[in-house]
Chains A and B, each alone.
Chain A
Amino acid sequence: MTEALLEVTDLKKHYPVRAGVLRRQVGTVHAVDGVSFALGTGETLGLVGESGCGKSTVARSVLRLVEPTSGQIRLDGEDITHLSKAALRPHRRSMQIVFQDPFASLNPRMTAGDIVGEPLAVHGLATGKELEARVARLFEQVGLRPDQMGNFPHQFSGGQRQRICIARALALEPRLIVCDEPVSALDVSIQAQVINLLIDLQRQHGFSYLFIAHDLAVVAHISHRVAVMYLGRIVEIADKDELFRNPRHPYTQALLASVPIANPLAKKLAPLVDGDVPSPVNPPSGCAFHTRCRFAMERCKTERPALLDAGDGHQVACLLNDGTGRGR
């Protein structure tokens, strides 16, 4: 792998659960419970998992939009975990985010041009005619027409709004863009347009994506490497091809088997897991997946599996076969 742009080590984020008149703490939500990964320059790491697995909390912690409970976040070798707001500001330029809902993440009273230009103005990088010219260039880069700069968000379609969000993220020439479910709110034909745009922009600019989605197929298309999360932990991480061809964690296998394939002649849907995701307030002991796993052993109930290398950088957290997971 190339040098790491972002390094996350043992990241934890716990939220207290309070109840009663005295608001006493009665429990803890283990939203993120010890997550480590590295992201290289120009690389896309896909982060997948079902709702409540903590993938969005990881994204927000990386940007320090939520304060991590413990752990370390290094950007370009520098520890940014405990920097003050002022000290963090120069680093904010190099990391940007694109959110899921392009209807909620754009100020309805600002013109599209002002929205895209705001980061440049805030950081004092351009004013007047120059600002306008740079915004126009950004519009062209994301496939919008510069004459649309005076329009308001409601005059754009969902796909176009997401393009505005992407242009705003690009404005400061970041090195890392966190995409939190950027295409889940879009129609299928529009999804493809936005995914292609993201891929093209990365090839031009060479920045890295931390790409969060629940849709495995979308992640498969855009990522170089993929990490699968379950109840606040990474259960498997590998190169994309390797992960999809040779998944080793029973949860990853169940996830892949649950995706309906758009071919009526393909193998019919076979749910490999029963029941629901347990609550992250009191996650199961040992391996958090043992309550739904068809291969769970007695050990799985008490022993928490570590994320171990099963060969060729394919890491898996499963006690089966001496910690290398289950082969297919």
Chain B
Amino acid sequence: MADKTDLVLDVKNLKTVFFTNSGLFKAVDDLSFSVRRGETLAIVGESGCGKSVTALSLMRLVPDPPGRIVGGSVTLEGTDLLALDESEMRSVRGNRISMIFQEPMTSLNPVMRIGDQIVEAVRLHRNISAKEAHDIAVEMLRLVRIPEPARRAREYPHQLSGGMRQRAMIAMALACRPALLIADEPTTALDVTIQAQILALILDLQKELGTGLVLITHDLGVVAQTAQRVIVMYAGRKVEEASVEALFAAPKHPYTRGLMASIPAVPASGVAAQARLNEIPGTVPSLVRLPQGCAFAPRCKLAIKRCEAEYPPLADWGGGHLAACWRAEEVAEVA
């Protein structure tokens, strides 16, 4: 690991729970990770694995009730965000830590001009005139490669296409030059040619501005093409963490291996007519009734008695490759 000064975000033992009619469930359970300056950390997992709640927890935006952060620490540039009061948090949010969401149409104000929305975000954190803020807004729109930025700044969200809206969201999120950007499925709602454009844009800007990036996605292709490090989550817990090269070369957790085998790949060259995919049997467990041991055990080919009884600890397999599996050693042998 690099030295401490490079660290933008350090999350330790984060725990977020929800109180519902059917009981208490741990959406995020004992999650630790860190992000360095200019680094991209991807969090992958399927619906309900806790990746979006993790993002909301970092932003302190978990709806309370029913949710609450009940433990751990989130240290951004040396400050524990969980210890701040709401007004202090407001001065950090959108300033040092920003977020872009999956659906740009629902996260932009439909009755406010694009430029004004950026101006509002900038003036909230910086003591500058409306004119200066407007210049920054137009400059940001130019930075995210929106053609004719001065004209677009006067338009409303509905006048922009999906890709343009997501660009405007990115402009707003980066307007105050945050230390950390969280992107929660930023391209899931977009078409594939637009997705490629937006991902390339996010990575370019990140390089230019040195922002730390937490990229939340379900798409392993997006992970492979963008991230330096990866966390795989299952049922609220981190089950594996590794550099992107190590993870794709030799996944240690049976769930990661199963995910990789089940994604259909665009055939590079000649694949037989129809190809059956490797599937993971069963479904993601309900968080309210989690098994006592490893949550993946009921779907795992390698499960043994011990897996059902005890939750496996995260073990280091060298080079910061962590995996929580009793049988990680055997995973490589069983395809």
Q: Which residues of A contact B (CB under 8 A)?
A: 44, 50-51, 157, 159-160, 187-193, 195-196, 199-200, 202, 214-218, 220-224, 240-241, 244-245, 254-266, 268-274, 276-277
Set of chain B residues within 8 Å of A258, measured between Cβ atoms: 192-193, 195-196
Given A259-B192, A260-B221, A262-B220, check contact A199 B276 (CB 8 Å): yes
Q: Which residues of B contact A (CB under 8 A)?
A: 46-47, 161-164, 191-197, 199-200, 218-226, 244-245, 248, 258-260, 262-271, 273-281, 283-284
Set of chain B residues within 8 Å of A193, measured between Cβ atoms: 279-281
Set of chain A residues within 8 Å of B218, measured between Cβ atoms: 187-188
Set of chain B residues within 8 Å of A188, measured between Cβ atoms: 46, 218, 220, 259, 262-263
Q: Of A44, A224, A245, A264, which one neighbours B269 at CB under 8 angstroms?
A: A245
Q: CB distance B260 to A189 under 8 Å?
A: no
Set of chain B residues within 8 Å of A254, measured between Cβ atoms: 193
Q: Of B47, B162, B192, B248, which one neighbours A264 at CB under 8 angstroms?
A: B248
Q: CB distance A192 to B274 under 8 Å?
A: no
Cα-based distance from A192 to B220 in the complex (angstroms): 14
Set of chain B residues within 8 Å of A199, measured between Cβ atoms: 274, 276
B278, closest chain A residue (CB):
A192
Q: Of B192, B224, B245, B270, which one neighbours A245 at CB under 8 angstroms?
A: B270
Q: What is the minimal beta-carbon distance from A194 to any residue of chain B, in angstroms?
A: 9
Set of chain A residues within 8 Å of B283, measured between Cβ atoms: 157, 159-160, 190
Set of chain A residues within 8 Å of B268, measured between Cβ atoms: 244
Q: What is the minimal beta-carbon distance from B239 to any residue of chain A, in angstroms?
A: 14
Q: Give 12 CB contacts A-B under 8 Å.
A: A192-B263, A214-B192, A221-B274, A224-B273, A240-B273, A241-B267, A245-B267, A258-B192, A264-B224, A271-B196, A271-B200, A276-B163
| Nearest 5 A/B pairs, CB to CB | A260-B221, A192-B262, A258-B196, A50-B191, A187-B46
Q: CB distance B258 to A261 under 8 Å?
A: no
Cα-based distance from A221 to B278 in the complex (angstroms): 12
- Given contacts A191-B262, A245-B267, A264-B225, 20 further A-B pairs with CB under 8 A are A187-B284, A189-B284, A192-B264, A192-B279, A196-B279, A214-B191, A215-B264, A216-B266, A221-B264, A221-B275, A224-B274, A240-B267, A241-B270, A244-B266, A244-B268, A261-B225, A264-B245, A265-B245, A266-B224, A269-B200
